[in-house]
């Protein structure tokens, strides 16, 4: 789960990670009020969406008067912002963050994430502030300094010194940097974060460090104990069908092909997509119905898959282990009564009681249910059906 | 022969009296696994499925001599259960539970390493040595005895592969579901040498997926140390970047952890990599020279 910049900065403030002052605004009037409260003579109006690249897309603008704050807020609120992370359809901006202007002397990058190789959180810093870290990693990896932090002992001075000297900071600024980095580590650990990105981290004229931007993502499995973070969840930033699927214990991700897939188990679900691709088709989605593929979950699965108008055939691929295939077959028949399915459904059931399942489907005599003998056969039939063959 | 577990392995269940623990413990016993007891704090002294229940793992180990624990406790209690097992001298903890926070696994695994306890999982189907011992939730009947070792991040792909291997006329020595979380216990790199050393295992199937670099580490290891043929499939060739594909660890982040890079690394290490998971069985036939 991700949160907005302004929310991440709220968490930062509680942990004394310095950020510029700012207020959230949902209307141009609120934006002006926010600017007046902040005072000063320069403000930044920032679109709040869950995607990077907002500046380039026109979602971050500088205002030199409150009149300009109003004008820019009016312009950005309600716009559909397209960045390299939103996809071509973009994202609707529903709120702006009004922030005081900052005296930027130098921009850096500072981030944290789980390093799966060392199985520890790592902190990464770079002098290439403002650039996408993926590009820096690809083109000039030597400009990224990384430290793995053992969670058993926590953030130590040497971690901070390694980063600070790596960034080429003068000795008198190192203390400030270490204070910043050590507070950031606490924000990460205390909230079960899986990612923090500050891009840019800025150094001001008087040698202080400020998080000019803030991006945070969290471990979904830990949300049960992170009530504060949970309250920050903005469902309007998430895919509605994915949320709906989640309510029924299904894991769904929409793709752009035309062969719908319904599978038990995440690995087999990915493998099914790959098989469809291998057989010359394109998967319309990832869908893991989980361990208990019963009539209700299968019906819901059909419903969600068929919300996508591109779907021309559905491949149901279930490997019955503890779940018996005859039950799944009955579930499929039941599901076609609950949800109208008007595309060909190719069904491959293997594992426990597969033969009984095949008989159940055959005896039902439903024209658009086509039985498949194995994974490859099912994928081939589904691809052919989607092509109208 | 086999790896890690066999017909003599003594197993306790943490979360023994819960719904999942009960159902699967019963299935394991029916398969032939020596479940010698279980732990449910507060229910010590009772009997469940004909076996003693203990309040602590320490008591259970002392009374039964168990060396393996199968863990079914809810996600919030996994790290506690793992550390308790490690502290009590358990040698291998098999964590079936799905949904453990990463931070908890980070602490639990570090503690287990310190105490010399191996972990399988979390979020995995467990481990099975054909016809001898099943510790987990897999349908045992698929795993006919034979000479193929199996290591997989995915549950249903484990069943799918085992089924194909059996249909080709082969069978399984031991199959290990290592789980698809960002932090897991035993991985390919630790399991491959065990299969290499097992005289009954003649070839190895390895199922990976997008995210992380365990398959890349495996490729480097295979190149240097593995002489037995290896067949591999990597799930998620068609997965979009930045999306979590069901498993917590199955995500291409920052452009790395793709199926393509893993497949290339394995191929370069001499592994027979199949593009479609439907070809795993056939590939085993080929490398076994049948």
Q: How far, in Å, CA of B84 to CA of B92, rounded?
A: 12
Does the CB of B212 have a partner CB in chain A at under 8 Å? yes
Smallest Cα–Cα separation from A17: which of A228, A179, A171? A179
DSSP string, chain B: --SS--TT-EEEEETTTSHHHHHHHHHHHHHT-EEEEEE-TT-TT-EETTEEEESSHHHHHHHH---EEEE---GGGHHHHHHHHHHTT-SEEEE--S---HHHHHHHHHHHHHTT-EEE-SSS-EEEETTTEEEESS-GGG--EEEEEEEES-HHHHHHHHHHHHHTT--EEEEEE--SSSS-SS-HHHHHHHHHH-TT--EEEEEEESSSSHHHHHHHHHHHH--S-EEEEEE-TTPPTT---SSTT---BTTBS-HHHHHHHHHHTT-EE-SSGGGHHHHHHHHTT-
What integer is the mean pLDDT of B95-101? 95
Kindly report whether the peptide bond that precedes residue A314 is cis, defined as omega within 30 degrees of 0: no
Tell me what the mean pLDDT of segment A227-246 comes to. 91
Cα(A273)–Cα(A201) distance, integer angstroms: 40
A-B Cβ pairs (cutoff 8 Å, strict): 172
Whether the pLDDT of residue A125 is over 90: the answer is yes
Give the model's confidence band at B167: pLDDT under 50 very low, under 70 low, under 90 confident, else very high.
very high
Q: Express each pLDDT in A6-46 by its tens digit.
A: 999 999 999 999 999 999 999 999 999 999 999 999 999 99
Cα–Cα distance measured from residue A305 to residue A303, given in angstroms and rounded to the nearest whole number: 6
- The average pLDDT across B166-187 equals 96
To probe the interface with B, which of A221, A279, A379 has the most B CB atoms within 10 Å?
Answer: A221
Mean pLDDT for chain B? 95
- pLDDT number for residue A339: 82
Please give, one letter per residue, the 3-state secondary structure of B170-219.
Answer: CCEEEEEECCCCCCCCCCHHHHHHHHHHCCCCCEEEEEEECCCCHHHHHH
Handedness of CA B88, B93, B96, B98 (dihedral sign): positive
**Cβ atoms of A266 and A288 closer than 8 Å:** yes
Average pLDDT over residues A180-192: 98
For B8-17, write each residue's pLDDT tens digit: 999 999 999 9
Can you tell me the distance from the alpha carbon of B83 to that of B103, in angstroms, rounded to the nearest whole number?
14
| CB contact (8 A) between residue A265 and residue B155 | yes
Pairwise CB contact (< 8 Å): A267 & B180: yes
What is the Cα–Cα distance from B204 to B150, expressed in whole angstroms?
Answer: 6
The predicted model gives B39-64 an average pLDDT of 97
Handedness of CA A45, A107, A115, A143 (dihedral sign): positive
Q: Which of A99, A128, A194, A197 is catalytic?
A: A197
The one catalytic residue among B24, B48, B202, B247: B247
- Residues of A with CB below 8 A from B141's CB? 352
Mean pLDDT for A118-140 is 89
Tokens encoding B75? 């996600």
Q: What is the mean pLDDT of residues B250-276?
A: 93
- Ordered by where they begin, the domains of chain A are 1-20+103-237 (3.30.470.20), 21-101 (3.30.1490.20), 240-386 (3.40.50.261)
Buried b (16+ CB within 10 A) or exposed e, B91-107: bbbbbbbbbbbbbbbbb
Q: Do domains B10-120 and B138-287 have the same CATH topology?
A: yes
C-alpha to C-alpha distances, A344 to A323, A340, A382, B116, nearest whole angstrom = 24, 12, 8, 54
| Residue of A113, A276, A319 lying closest to B159 (CB–CB) | A319
Instruction: Identify the pLDDT of residue B290.
Output: 67
Average pLDDT over residues B226-236: 97
Please provide the average confidence, as pLDDT, over all residues in chain A. Answer: 92
Residue A143 is given by DSSP the state G
At A207, give phi and psi (nearest 5°). 80, 20
CA-CA distance, B281 to B231, in Å (whole number)? 9
Q: If you average pLDDT over residues B188-202, what whole number do you get? A: 97
Could you give phi then psi for residue B117, rounded to 5 degrees? -105, 135
pLDDT at residue A292, as a whole number: 65
d(CA A374, CA A376): 6
CA–CA dist B121, B94 (Å, integer): 6
The residue-averaged pLDDT of A93-106 equals: 95
Name the CATH superfamily for B138-287: Succinyl-CoA synthetase domains (3.40.50.261)
The torsion angles phi and psi of A249, rounded to 5 degrees, stand at 75, 15
Please tell me which residue, B267 or A83, carries the higher pLDDT value. B267
Say which of A6, A97, A108, A109 is annotated catalytic.
Answer: A109
Give catalytic status of residue A109 as yes or no. Answer: yes
Helix, coil or strand: residue A62? strand
| CB within 8 Å: B245 and A286 | yes
Output Rg (C-alpha) for chain A, integer angstroms. Answer: 26
Work out the end-to-end distance of chain B between its first and last CA atoms, rounded to an integer number of angstroms. 23
Which pLDDT score is estimated for A170?
94
pLDDT number for residue A258:
96
CA distance A219 to A221: 5
Q: pLDDT class for A351, splitting at 50, 70, 90? A: confident
Q: Which of B109, B142, B247 sits opposite A119 (nearest CB)?
A: B109
Alpha carbon of A351 to those of A373, B154, B160: distances in Å?
A: 11, 16, 9
Per-residue pLDDT averaged across A224-239, rounded? 93
CATH for the stretch B10-120: 3.40.50.720
How many Å apart are CA B77 and CA A348, to the nearest integer?
37
Q: Calculate what percentage of chain A has a pLDDT beyond 70.
A: 99
Confidence of residue B252 (pLDDT cuts 50, 70, 90): confident
Q: Give yes or no for B137 touching A (CB within 8 A).
A: yes
- Longest CA–CA separation in chain A, Å: 82
Q: Which residues neighbour A228 within 8 Å (Cβ) at sequence distance 6 or greater?
A: A11, A191
Q: B235 φ, ψ to 5°?
A: -80, 145
Lookup: tokens for A199: 């891009």
Tokens of A133: 């870290």
Q: Does residue A315 contact residue A262 with C-beta atoms inside 8 Å?
A: yes
- Residue A322, pLDDT above cutoff 90: no
**Could you give the angle at the alpha carbon of A323 between the alpha carbons of A321 and A328, nearest 5°?**
120
Determine the residue of chain B that is closest to A286 in CA distance.
Answer: B245
Residue with tokens 């050393």: B197
Predicted confidence (pLDDT) at residue A110 exceeds the cutoff of 80: yes
What is the rounded distance in angstroms from the CA atom of residue A216 to the CA atom of residue A355?
50
Taking the C-alpha atoms of residue B177 and residue A323, their distance in angstroms, rounded to an integer, is: 18
Residue-level pLDDT at A230: 95
The answer for residues whose C-beta is within 8 angstroms of residue A95's C-beta and 6 or more apart is A4, A6, A24, A25, A26, A48, A77
Assess whether pLDDT exceeds 90 at residue A323. no
Mutate to test the interface with A, among B103, B207, B247 (most CBs of A within 10 A): B103
Mean pLDDT of B167-176: 97
Which range among A59-73, A124-138, A175-189 shows the weakest confidence by mean pLDDT?
A124-138
ipTM: 0.93
- Domain boundaries, given as residue ranges, for chain B: 10-120, 138-287
pLDDT above 90 for A330: no
């Amino acid at each position: 789960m991700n949160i907005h910049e302004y929310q991440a900065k709220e968490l930062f403030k509680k942990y004394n990670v310095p950020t510029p002052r700012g207020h959230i605004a949902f209307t141009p009037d609120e934006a002006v009020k926010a600017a007046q409260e902040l005072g000063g003579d320069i403000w930044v109006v920032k679109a709040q969406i869950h995607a990077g690249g907002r500046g380039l897309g026109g979602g971050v603008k500088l205002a030199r008067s409150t009149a300009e704050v109003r004008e820019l807020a009016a312009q950005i609120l309600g716009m559909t912002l397209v960045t390299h992370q939103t996809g071509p359809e973009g994202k609707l901006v529903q709120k702006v963050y009004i922030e005081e202007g900052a005296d930027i002397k130098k921009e850096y990058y500072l981030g944290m994430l789980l390093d799966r190789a060392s199985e520890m959180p790592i902190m990464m810093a770079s002098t290439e502030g403002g650039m996408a870290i993926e590009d820096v990693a690809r083109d000039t990896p030597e400009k990224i300094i990384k430290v793995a932090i053992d969670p058993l002992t926590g953030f130590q001075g040497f971690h901070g010194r390694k980063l600070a000297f790596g960034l080429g900071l003068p000795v008198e600024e190192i203390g400030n940097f270490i204070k910043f980095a050590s507070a950031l580590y606490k924000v990460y650990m205390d909230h079960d974060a899986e990612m923090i990105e500050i891009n840019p981290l800025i150094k001001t004229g008087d040698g202080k460090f400020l998080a000019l931007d803030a991006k945070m993502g969290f471990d979904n499995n830990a949300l049960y104990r992170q009530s504060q973070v949970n309250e920050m969840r903005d469902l309007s930033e998430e895919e509605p069908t994915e949320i709906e699927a989640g309510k029924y214990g299904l894991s769904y991700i929409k793709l752009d092909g035309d062969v719908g897939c319904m599978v038990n188990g995440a690995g087999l679900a990915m493998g099914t997509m790959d098989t469809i691709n291998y057989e010359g088709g394109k998967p319309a989605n990832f869908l893991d119905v989980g361990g208990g593929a019963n009539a209700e979950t299968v019906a819901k699965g059909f419903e969600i898959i068929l919300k996508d108008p591109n779907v021309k055939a559905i491949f149901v691929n279930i490997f019955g282990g503890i779940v018996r295939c005859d039950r799944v077959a009955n579930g499929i028949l039941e599901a076609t009564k609950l949800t109208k399915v008007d595309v060909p459904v190719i069904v491959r059931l293997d594992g426990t009681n597969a033969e009984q399942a095949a008989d159940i489907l055959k005896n039902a005599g439903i024209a658009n249910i086509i039985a498949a003998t194995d994974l490859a056969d099912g994928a081939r039939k589904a691809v052919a059906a989607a092509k109208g063959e | 022969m086999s790896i890690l577990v066999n017909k003599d392995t003594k197993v306790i269940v943490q979360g023994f009296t819960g719904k999942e623990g009960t159902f699967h413990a019963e299935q394991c016993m029916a398969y032939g696994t020596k479940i010698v007891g279980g732990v449910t704090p507060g229910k010590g002294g009772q009997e469940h499925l004909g076996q003693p229940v203990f309040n602590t793992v320490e008591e259970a180990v002392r009374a039964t001599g168990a060396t393996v624990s199968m863990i079914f406790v809810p996600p919030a209690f996994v790290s506690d259960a793992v550390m308790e097992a490690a502290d009590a001298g358990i040698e291998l903890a098999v964590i079936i539970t799905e949904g453990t926070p990463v931070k908890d696994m980070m602490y639990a695994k570090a503690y287990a390493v310190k105490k010399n306890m191996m972990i399988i999982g979390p979020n995995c189907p467990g481990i099975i040595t054909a016809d001898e011992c099943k510790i987990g939730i897999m349908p045992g009947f698929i795993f006919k005895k034979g000479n193929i070792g199996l290591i997989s991040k995915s549950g249903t792909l484990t069943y799918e592969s085992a089924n194909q291997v059996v249909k080709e006329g082969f069978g399984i020595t031991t199959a290990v579901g290592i789980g698809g979380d960002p932090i897991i216990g035993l991985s390919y790199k630790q399991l491959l040498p065990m299969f290499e050393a097992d005289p009954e295992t003649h070839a190895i199937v390895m199922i990976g997926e997008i995210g992380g670099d365990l398959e890349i580490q495996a490729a480097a290891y295979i190149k240097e140390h593995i002489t037995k043929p290896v067949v591999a499939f990597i799930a998620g060739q068609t997965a979009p970047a930045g999306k979590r594909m069901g498993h917590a660890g199955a995500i291409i982040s920052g452009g790395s952890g793709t199926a393509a890079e893993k497949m290339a690394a394995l191929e370069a290490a001499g592994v027979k990599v199949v593009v479609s998971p439907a070809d795993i069985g056939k590939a085993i036939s080929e490398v076994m020279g049948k």
